[in-house]
């Protein structure tokens, strides 16, 4: 239960400045994971923690895995947005755009989800390679097929040749649709993204 409380704090932590877009905050992974979960990570498993909601339109979660690649290489792969289509599940296209706010990157992905079909939205990213964070939030100045999302990708070096990859996200689909959309975005896709990035950076394994 302690881990879920920490995760809930992350999910609703946003920028405190009114003129800035809402972005996720990086979770304190040392407080989220137990000693047993760290052992599971060392064995190659991917840890998933999910926040359930009575509102089927909303949900959140966090996935963590170890990638056998230097932190610089993992960060470069995550920040190469044009390549995301090749290894992010269900993403069928992605366009980049320049947002009005300086220091941010805008992406317009299209994903395809069973039953729901294609879903398009716009996300703002703030990158900090020194901190190992890629923080994101929905660009509310544009038209989106979901009501809100925010989260963080965190890269932490584990020595010279391994990295910890943390992917945390909150989604409000804004749709009175089957829970499959929220489930795909915050449950199935979180570990699948880590697996896909791992396969991308560890070819032949």
Q: pLDDT digits over 50-84, tens only?
A: 766 555 566 788 999 999 999 999 999 999 999 88
Q: Residue 67 gets which letter from DSSP?
A: E
- pLDDT bracket for residue 172 (50, 70, 90): confident
Kindly report the pTM of this predicted structure. Answer: 0.85
Q: pLDDT digits over 95-147, tens only?
A: 999 999 999 999 999 988 777 789 899 999 999 999 999 999 999 999 999 89
Q: What angle do CA 183, 188, 193 make, to 5 degrees?
A: 130
For residue 165, pLDDT beyond 70: yes
Q: pLDDT digits over 4-15, tens only?
A: 444 444 444 444
Q: Compute the average pLDDT of residues 145-171.
A: 93
Provide the pLDDT for residue 187. Answer: 64
Contact 117, 140 (CB under 8 A): no
Dihedral, CA of residue 151, residue 158, residue 83 and residue 114, to nearest 10: -50
Q: Residue 47 gets which letter from DSSP?
A: E
Q: pLDDT digits over 20-41, tens only?
A: 678 999 988 988 899 999 999 9
DSSP labels, 93-152: EEEEE--SSTT-EEEEEEEEETTTEEEE--EEEEEETTTTEEEEEE-TTS--SSSEEEEE
Provide the pLDDT for residue 49. Answer: 87
Sequence-distant (≥ 6) Cβ neighbours of residue 125 within 8 angstroms: 81, 104, 105, 106, 107, 134, 135, 136
């Amino acid at each position: 239960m302690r881990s879920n409380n920490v995760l809930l704090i992350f999910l609703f932590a946003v920028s405190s400045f009114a003129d800035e877009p809402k972005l996720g905050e990086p979770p304190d992974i040392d407080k989220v994971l137990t000693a047993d979960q760290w052992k599971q990570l060392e064995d190659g498993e991917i840890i998933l923690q999910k926040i359930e909601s009575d509102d089927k339109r909303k949900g959140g979660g966090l996935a963590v895995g170890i990638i056998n690649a230097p932190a610089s290489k993992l960060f470069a792969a995550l920040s190469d947005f044009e390549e995301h289509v090749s290894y992010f599940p269900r993403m069928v296209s992605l366009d980049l755009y320049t947002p009005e706010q300086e220091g941010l990157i805008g992406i317009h992905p299209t994903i395809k989800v069973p039953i729901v079909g294609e879903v398009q939205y716009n996300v703002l990213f703030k990158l900090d390679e020194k901190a190992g964070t890629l923080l994101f939030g929905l660009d509310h100045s544009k038209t989106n097929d979901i009501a809100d999302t925010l989260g963080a990708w965190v890269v932490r070096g584990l020595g010279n040749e391994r990295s910890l990859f943390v992917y945390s996200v909150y989604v409000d689909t804004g749709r009175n649709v089957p829970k499959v959309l929220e489930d795909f975005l915050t449950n199935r896709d979180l570990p699948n993204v880590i697996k896909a990035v791992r396969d991308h950076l560890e070819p032949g394994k």
